[in-house]
Chain A
Amino acid sequence: NAGVTQTPKFQVLKTGQSMTLQCAQDMNHEYMSWYRQDPGMGLRLIHYSVGAGITDQGEVPNGYNVSRSTTEDFPLRLLSAAPSQTSVYFCASKRGSTGELFFGEGSRLTVL
Chain B
Amino acid sequence: DTGVSQDPRHKITKRGQNVTFRCDPISEHNRLYWYRQTLGQGPEFLTYFQNEAQLEKSRLLSDRFSAERPKGSFSTLEIQRTEQGDSAMYLCASSLGETATNEKLFFGSGTQLSVL
Q: Do A and B come from one complex?
A: no
Chain B residues packing against A (C-beta within 8 Å): none
Chain A residues packing against B (C-beta within 8 Å): none
